[in-house]
Amino acid sequence: MEKNVGIPIRLLIIEDSEDDALLTLRQLRKGGYDPVYRIVETPAALENALLEETWDIVLSDFHMPSFDGREALRIVRERGLDVPFVIISGVLVEEDAVEILKSGASDYVRKGNWSRLIPAIGRELREARGRREQQRAEEQEAEAQERYRNLFESAVEGIFQSTPAGRFVTANPAMAVLAGYDSPQELINSVRNISNELYVHSESRDMMLEILEAHGMVSGFEVEVYRKDGSRTWIVINSRGLFDDSGKLELIEGFVVDISKRKRAEAELANMNQQLEQLVADRTSELEQKALELEQANRRLQEVDQNKTAFLSSVSHELRTPLTSVLGFAKLIHRDFCKVFLPTSGVDEKMNRMGDRICDNLDIIVNEGERLTRLVNDFLDLVRIEAGRMNWDDQRVSPTRILKGAADAVNGLFVETPGLDLVFDVPEDLPDMTIDPDRMTQVIINLLNNAVKFTHKGHVALRAAPDTESDAIQIQIEDTGVGIPVDDIAKVFSKFHQVKGQEGKDIGTHGSGLGLSISQQIVEHYGGTIRVQSEVGQGSTFFLTLPLNRE
């Protein structure tokens, strides 16, 4: 069964008889209270109790060995404590009771009269609570008034009250300063008619009054006013109307902000705009003429660029035809001379040396012819890509098959380079993609050739993996070669750029400086990206991202 919880009460008992004090506590509990109490019986103990804690009510015996109820009441009141002070005594004469009540005691109850004690305590607690609440309300009102007064006096905005007839009722210092007066009282006494004496255009105030009467408030009302010295300034008014019971406007209150700086800035801006408009008008005809000249120049440049592209393409084709003949005859001569005629020289040492020199020279002609052919082919590819005339044979193909084919195409380079391994880390189940297989093979072979050329030992790794988040394939060509200096990393994809300070192996594929540029053009044509990370002496890694489904 639940026990009823009594009303909490903080109780200070002044009593020399502990039995009487406990009896009082039992009666209070029966009466519905749950006291937190303290019993004192000397003036010093009373002083300490008043200093250490706060109390809701004080119950005091009148006659005690150390002191009496009068002294206890005096100590309590000298502490400024407005708490109920109730005397409980069995032998208090009427004259003493009247005297102590006049001295400030709240009530007097005879010991044993419990039927009167409980209501008396309840009444005193309610009255004390009422006094505290009233005191708190008065203090809060005083604080609010003080805050309002401080706000009113220290506000940077002008605050005012005025009558509809045009007299100021109240004004704060900021309002007086704004109007050019030394004090609010001077402003109130000096301005008798706001419309005529303060407003530059009196009809502006009439308009504001009409808005107030119609809507009860005015917001952002800009008006030009006179200051005390006759100068003018601009203000913005935010105000509301106070109406009587019949709905008649009887008072206007609001605040004012000086916007003269803003108005001057607006005027200066308007003047600048006017000047700018004139400048624009003056320059428009010049710009139109320049635009016409630029359009004509651009048209001529486009024609020059088209002619350049056509010329380079024609020259490249014209170079490739004789190069093919020179290269073919050089190979034929090399085969016939070195395999047929040179062995017939017999033991003639001079003839053998001359024959070996001729074979070496023919090797140089073949190698340089092949290099020049690759340069012409690369140049043709670049010209076609930049001119938008490249033929793209896009197909739905397996990237794994293309990467495997590119790796097989360069496998001979690894056979010729002992200590250099090709690592092929490409899964068999890469998703199909739409791309020109020959162009993708060209990109991978270019990158593998570069890696082999600048890697003397270690490995060259070709890796690939699907990127499900971006619906693409990530390809990496990693080597353990000489690396690329920091200053050259940003330029490796530029046309004809050769990295300075790199010593590559002669693998029969002297670079034209166009391979990486062409690779970048092909990758970007398919909406992909290519980048490189490298550190000198640690090798390089090229990263390719190619979308699986290009729109």
Among 113, 144, 175, the domain boundary falls at 144
The domain total for the chain is 4
- The answer to whether residue 149 sits within a structural domain is no
Domain that holds residue 31: 7-144
Beta strand segments in 389-513, E: 395-397, 420-425, 433-435, 458-467, 472-479
Instruction: Tell whether the model's pLDDT for residue 321 goes beyond 70.
Output: no
Kindly state whether residue 150 falls inside one of the protein's structural domains: no
Mean pLDDT of 297-320: 67
- For residue 1, being part of any structural domain is answered with no
Specify the pLDDT at position 68: 86
CA-closest candidate to residue 168, choices 188, 148, 147? 188
| Average pLDDT value for residue range 534-546 | 91
Across 148-152, 352-356, 534-538, least confident range: 148-152
Q: Which amino acid is located at 276 in the chain?
A: L
Q: Is residue 247 part of a domain?
A: yes
* Range ranked top by mean pLDDT from 158-167, 279-288, 306-315: 158-167
518 domain-assigned: yes
More confident residue, 103 or 505: 103
In this model, does residue 504 exceed pLDDT 60? no
Give the DSSP letter string of 322-360.
Answer: HHHHHHHHHHHHHHHIIIIIGGGGTT-HHHHHHHHHHHH
Q: Could you give the residue ranges of the DSSP H alpha helices within 79-232?
A: 94-102, 114-154, 173-178, 184-190, 194-197, 202-215
Q: Which amino acid is at 114?
A: W
- Residue 507: pLDDT above 60? no
| Residue 509 in this model has a pLDDT that exceeds 60 | no
Supply 157's token pair: 């905005």
Residues 402 and 542 in one domain: yes
CATH code, 12: 3.40.50.2300
Last residue of a domain, one of 328, 362, 384: 384
The answer to whether 1 and 7 have CB atoms below 8 angstroms apart is no
Are 420 and 529 members of one domain?
A: yes
What average pLDDT does the segment 375-391 reach? Answer: 68
Identify whether residues 371 and 426 lie together within a single domain: no
Pair (396, 378) in one structural domain: no
If asked whether residues 40 and 109 sit together in one domain, one would say yes
Using the predicted structure, report yes or no on whether residue 450 has a pLDDT greater than 90.
Answer: no
Please report the sign of the dihedral spanned by the C-alpha atoms of residue 225, residue 228, residue 231, residue 234.
negative
Q: How many CB atoms lie within 10 A of CB 481?
A: 26
Q: Is residue 206 part of a domain?
A: yes
> Are 541 and 396 part of one and the same domain?
yes
pLDDT of residue 324: 73
| Mean pLDDT, rounded, for 39-55 | 89
Do 371 and 329 fall within a single domain? yes
Mean pLDDT score, 318-346? 73
Average pLDDT of span 51-65: 87
Q: Where a domain ends, among 211, 236, 258?
A: 258
Q: Which residue has the higher pLDDT, 336 or 218?
A: 218
Instruction: With respect to residue 223, please indicate whether it lies within any of the assigned structural domains.
Output: yes
Within this chain, do residues 196 and 212 fall inside the same structural domain, yes or no? yes
Task: Check whether residue 397 and residue 539 sit in a common domain.
Answer: yes
Query: What is the pLDDT at residue 316?
Result: 58
Higher pLDDT, 148 or 337: 337
Burial (CB count within 10 angstroms: exposed 0-12, middle 13-18, buried 19+), residue 204: middle
In order of 418, 447, 516, 523, the CA distances from 520 in angstroms are 31, 11, 6, 5
pLDDT digits (tens, 9 = 90+) for 298-307: 888 777 766 6
Mean pLDDT on 444-463? 90
Q: Are 421 and 459 in contact (CB under 8 A)?
A: yes
Query: Could you tell me the two tokens for 343?
Result: 């062995």
Domain harbouring 237, CATH code? 3.30.450.20
77 belongs to a structural domain: yes
Stated length of the chain: 551
- Give the mean model confidence (pLDDT) for residues 432-452: 89
Same-domain check for residues 447 and 466? yes
Same domain, 457 and 368: no
What number is the average pLDDT over the span 98-110? 82
Q: The whole model's pTM is what? A: 0.41
For the cut 70, the answer to whether the pLDDT of residue 8 exceeds it is yes
| The pLDDT of residue 45 is above 80 | yes
Are 213 and 359 part of one and the same domain?
no
Domain holding 504: CATH number?
3.30.565.10
Residue 4 pLDDT class (50, 70, 90 cuts): very low
